[in-house]
Amino acid sequence: MRFQEALAQPGLAAIAEIKRRSPSAGDLRPDADPGTLAGEFERAGAAAVSVLVDERFAGSVDDLRAVRAAASLPLLAKGFFRDPDELAELKRSGADAVLLLLRDLEDEQAARLMMTARELGIDALVEAHDADELERAITLGADPIGINARDLSTFHIDRNAQLDLVAQATLQQTVTKSERVVVAESGIESRAQAAAAELAGADAVLVGSALMRATDPAAKLRELIERPLVKICGLTREEDVAVAAESGADLAGFILARESPRRAERVLPVPGTMLSVAVFVGERSDAGSDLVQLYERENGHRGRDAVLLRGDEPVAHVLDLPWEQHDPGHHARASAQEGRVVLAGRLAPENVREAIEKVRPWAVDASSQLELSPGIKDHHRIRAFVEAART
């Protein structure tokens, strides 16, 4: 399977990167064995492997050859390439794709290298880090396009700018009815950050430093792409947010609907390992959250289902139980829903595993079953719920 094709498969794909050091962070894993790591990443679910072949990252083309001998996944060669002859050598050494940095290339150079890659039968991941470079990549017909959160001049990470560019690239595809793979690169350290890129429209994430720093790189990779996500909703206190974060929850829900007994005064701060979700019924306002969960209002209370929004863009279906009712067909209905499903409705540590096995949702959402009283969470049950969802 080609590199681009591997990233275009359903769900969020991961490119696991092998690099011994970084100019911004120094040594990461000086004794890394590329072949061993590549085999572990393949077994952990990586869609492709990226190999730094530049000496500034303590890499070489020999590392690419070692990875090619150890893994069958598509391989991306990363470096600072300007010469078509370099691409030919990388192809001979096992590369299925090469990175082209628009920061360092004029359009004519980039076009020539993209043509060379096509003639060699390999893909070119064309990288942009600002709006001008994204427009250049689109004009050049690049596929896939990488959106780097790191400014290579300052090494500053700006995830919000990256997500906006990912969304812009996705919107452009909708307008032109074209299809291309979009990759979010750099700065992804948690499952929630990977999910944020996914919801913005990224088909894949490229992760390097977080894996190289991890005690077990393959386990870290599995963690980043694991589904379902876990949402703890009805949070009203900072101490409950902290326990949810420490337990490994990915989404923190704050109900801002006026009629809810779990109404929070505001969206509380969350750590980088979580995304905040403001929950509204009927009408919404700007609450400063990462996402919005919006229910219709019916007969003075919330409707059955909601939509999860990133800005104004629907990104998932929240499938819930009817207000204060049960539905024996709830799981069957949810499993038949296309797209991302956030499964809600009286989920608890005792039943979440069964629900996951029946529905295979993108996320699970619990609130009332994790409480001592409305809006006051039972810390033991939060921990038990997250653990059961992850088992």
78-99 pLDDT, tens per residue?
999 999 999 999 999 999 999 9
Do residues 197 and 7 touch, judged by C-beta distance below 8 A? no
Q: Give the residue from 171, 59, 191, 169 showing the smallest Cα distance to 183.
A: 169
Paired with 126 in beta bridges are 100, 145
CB atoms within 10 A of CB 334: 22
Outline where DSSP puts E strands in 158-228.
182-185, 204-207
For the segment 262-279, the average pLDDT, to the nearest whole number, is: 97
pLDDT at 176 (0 to 100): 57
Nearest to 48 by CA among 81, 17, 27: 17
One domain for residues 243 and 162: no
| Amino acid at position 231, single letter | K
Where residue 299 falls among pLDDT bands split at 50, 70, 90? confident
Average pLDDT for residues 293-307, to the nearest whole number? 92
Per-residue pLDDT tens for 231-260? 999 999 999 999 999 999 999 999 999 889
Judgement on whether residues 204 and 238 belong to the same structural domain of the protein: no
Instruction: Let me know whether 61 and 9 are in one domain.
Output: yes
Looking at residue 56, what is its pLDDT?
Answer: 84
Domain boundary pick from 185, 202, 225:
225
- Whether residues 274 and 156 share a domain: the answer is no
- pLDDT, residue 325, reads 87
Give yes or no for residue 174 having a pLDDT over 70. no
Residue scoring higher pLDDT (160 or 192): 192
- pLDDT for 152 equals 67
Model pTM score: 0.93
> Across all residues in the chain, what is the average pLDDT?
94
ω before 144 within 30° of 0 (cis)? yes
Dump strand ranges (E) for the chain: 13-18, 21-22, 26-27, 48-52, 75-78, 97-101, 123-128, 145-148, 182-185, 204-207, 229-232, 251-255, 275-281, 291-298, 301-310, 313-319, 341-343, 363-366, 371-373, 376-377
How far apart CA 16 and CA 173 sit, in angstroms, is 26
Residue 338 pLDDT exceeds 60: yes
| CATH for 74 | 3.20.20.70
Structural domain containing residue 34:
3-225
> Cβ atoms within 10 A of the Cβ of 373, count?
9
- Confidence band of 55 (pLDDT split at 50, 70, 90): confident
Cβ proximity of 345 and 366 under 8 Å: no
172-175 long-range contacts (CB < 8 A, ≥24 apart) are 172/138
Q: Which of 171, 194, 225 is the last residue of a domain?
A: 225
At residue 324, the pLDDT reads 83
- In this structure, the answer to whether residues 221 and 244 fall within a common structural domain is no
**What integer is the mean pLDDT of 28-41?**
93
Cα separation, 30 vs 67, in Å, equals 16
Could you tell me which of 25, 24, 49 has the C-alpha nearest to residue 36?
49
Evaluate if residue 153 carries a pLDDT over 80: no
Q: Considering only residues 373 and 154, tell me which one the structure prediction assigns the higher pLDDT.
A: 373
What average pLDDT does the segment 305-315 reach?
A: 97
- pLDDT for position 175: 53
CA separation for the pair 314, 306 (Å, rounded): 10
User: Considering 194, 225, 256, which residue would you say is the last residue of a domain?
Assistant: 225
Residue 22 binned pLDDT confidence (cut-offs 50, 70, 90): confident
Please check whether residues 299 and 355 belong to one and the same domain. yes
Q: For 29-33, 206-210, 359-363, which range has the lowest pLDDT when averaged over its residues?
A: 29-33
pLDDT at 177 over 70: no
Report residue 180: phi and psi, to 5°. Answer: -150, 155
Residues 183 and 234 in one domain: no
- Per the CB < 8 A criterion, the answer to whether 316 and 341 are in contact is yes
**Predicted local distance difference test score (pLDDT) of residue 158:** 83
In this structure, are 202 and 127 located in the same domain?
A: yes
Instruction: Please report the pLDDT score of residue 259 as a whole number.
Output: 85
Residues 214 and 188 in one domain: yes
Tell me: do 246 and 193 sit in the same domain: no
Structure tokens at 322: 């009817």
Domain count, the chain: 2
- Condensed to tens digits (0 to 9), the pLDDT of residues 188-221 reads 999 999 999 999 999 999 999 999 999 999 999 9
Q: Verify that 221 and 275 share a domain, yes or no.
A: no
pLDDT in tens, 128-151: 999 999 999 999 999 999 999 877
High-pLDDT (> 70) share of the chain, %: 98
Q: Are residues 251 and 376 in the same domain?
A: yes
Lookup result for tokens 């690239």: 169
Worst-scoring range by mean pLDDT, 140-154, 271-285, 310-324? 140-154
Share of the chain above pLDDT 90, in %: 85
Residues annotated as catalytic (active site), given as ranges:
17, 19, 78, 127, 148, 185-186
